[in-house]
Structure 1
Amino acid sequence: MKIDWDRRTCARRGHVTYAPDELPLRERLHTATALGEAWRCLRCGDFALGAPHGSGPAAQAPLVPRGKVLRDVFILRFLAIERAVRGVFIVLVAVAVWKFSNSQDAVRRLFDEYLDVFRPVFKHFHYDLDHSPVVGTIQKTFGYEHRTLVLVAGLLLAYALIELVESAGLWYAKRWAEYLTVVATAAFLPLEIYELTEHISWLKIGTLVLNVLAVVYILLAKHLFGLRGGHRAFEEERQGASLLEVEESAQVGVRV
């Protein structure tokens, strides 16, 4: 089923109407009904009853995302939410690492006590906790120095900050955020691939696929780094999204 992004957005946010000063174009965007005047929405193209939301020269009409541009905004906001969730999670991990660094000995003693309690239980099921990879990894962390753990917490916070900045920029469709997302995401792809060589999980595979698709999509759809015509092609595509400009072009064609 094909989604009508224009009407979907208008149903949620309402129509956007504009009365241009140019009379021929104004007449094409205006109609009279038994219930009063109606103006064509710049987003979905339907006529909406009531006075226009704005007026003035056609060149000063609001640029309303529609069609493919509106779909791109929806995808960017999905990525923004994903980045925000990831950023908050990393902040929580960083806080946990910092707290652990300040009470490392106490946590170690507590872990050893629980290990002594559960060792006979797991042994009954023929599972040796002393040779468990998970237990071994946890025990290794107890050997880390305090300053090392603080450094790890700081790096995690820095990474979380990047994710949250990306999220805010993508939500408002800022071009700098698109560049930041592509560069930052691509920089961590080798690490994600390396982690898969160490241990494969569906979560890691899904994260890697999502990040690769995000990089490729933003690069191509937003014409970054000169791809597909670069910034000039991007601006032409964005400017061409306004129904008012489409109507103006059609009016010019009629005159010719």
Structure 2
Amino acid sequence: MVDWNLNVCGRHGHETFAPDEPELRERLRAETPAGEAWRCLRCAAYVVGPPKGSGPADDAPEVPRGPLLRDRRIMRLLAAERVIRGLGLLGLAILVFVFRKSRGDLQTSFNSDLPLLRPLADQIGWNIDSSRIVRGIDSVFSLSEKTLVWIAIGLIAYAVLQFVEGTGLWLMKRWGEYFAVVATSIFLPLEIYDLTEKITVLRVLLFLVNLAAVVWLVWSKRLFGVRGGAAAYHAEHHAESLLTVERAAVTETAGAA
């Protein structure tokens, strides 16, 4: 089983903090033969050396740990997928603009080269005249310049949408989670319609990724009031904090005394 706390600390270093509150401070500090050591707020291991920060416990940095780190990894993967998809859409938009500029030359070349394929097509039993690929290419050539411009603009707008989603998810922002769910859900009916027209591996894969992302974000991030909503979400984050655990221990010890 993966220990997300140690995994992240091993790659990015430990997070230590010395609170001003004496009792809490002593629970996070220890003396060792090598000198003083402080507990990492993420993995709870003692780290020899001075703390990275100090001050009131309320000013301590929020350090994700446990399941929250796993969620962070999933969020980053979703963000990366959105950015890659956005780059692909931008590439398509550029190709549309290039096609618009050189459409005449491409169409002339296509019309002149197509007859050369007929002997080969006849040998393999391929009817070029009824080919969906050829008809599709012809329909693309028949598009007006204005239509091509609008297609490119639509691709760019969709790419920007993907970049905004990716940014919000990568930065672990609450607005990014809501934005991703709403933006992704809007296109799910269109993806279902595409699947009713024709099922391909790529279409099925993209649909499943988007559907899983929406369900996971709504459930795990408690969006739209699910599982207690924002209040329960922030309480869960607070409960995972090592300082919260140690504060509770200090209070329990004081009460027992």
| TM tier, smaller | over 0.9
**1:246 positional shift:** 1.0
Corresponding letter in the other structure for 2:128: L
Which runs of no fewer than 5 residues in structure 2 stay unpaired?
Answer: none
The two structures have a TM-score, normalised by structure 2, of 0.97
Show the counterpart of 2:80: 81
Q: How does 1:44-55 map to 2 (within 5 A)?
A: 44-55=43-54
Show the counterpart of 2:125: 126
**1:252 positional shift:** 0.9
Q: Which 4+ runs in 1 deviate beyond 4 A?
A: none
Corresponding letter in the other structure for 2:88: F
**1:136 positional shift:** 0.9
For residues 181 and 120 of structure 2, what CA distance do their matches in structure 1 show? Answer: 49
| Matched-pair identity in % | 45
Which runs of no fewer than 5 residues in structure 1 stay unpaired?
Answer: none
C-alpha contact 1:182 1:215 (8 A) present in aligned 2: yes
Q: How does 1:199-210 map to 2 (within 5 A)?
A: 199-210=198-209
Aligned CA-pair RMSD: 1.0
Show the counterpart of 2:197: 198
SS of corresponding position for 1:52: coil
Corresponding letter in the other structure for 1:73: R
Corresponding position: 1:152 with 2:151: yes
**1:103 positional shift:** 2.1
For residues 209 and 11 of structure 1, what CA distance do their matches in structure 2 show? Answer: 33
**1:244 positional shift:** 1.2
Over residues 115-158 of structure 1, what are the superposed CA-to-partner deviations in whole Å (9 max), with x where a residue is unaligned?
22222112111111121111111111111111001001001100
Show the counterpart of 1:137: 136
Show the counterpart of 2:29: 30
For residues 107 and 74 of structure 1, what CA distance do their matches in structure 2 show? Answer: 45
**1:248 positional shift:** 0.9
Show the counterpart of 1:188: 187
Which region of structure 1 is more displaced relative to structure 2, 77-86 or 21-30? 21-30
For residues 206 and 214 of structure 1, what CA distance do their matches in structure 2 show? Answer: 12
C-alpha contact 1:64 1:241 (8 A) present in aligned 2: no
**1:54 positional shift:** 0.7
**1:8 positional shift:** 0.4
For residues 47 and 135 of structure 1, what CA distance do their matches in structure 2 show? Answer: 68
**1:216 positional shift:** 0.4
The two structures have a TM-score, normalised by structure 1, of 0.97
**1:110 positional shift:** 1.5
**1:57 positional shift:** 1.0
For residues 254 and 123 of structure 1, what CA distance do their matches in structure 2 show? Answer: 88
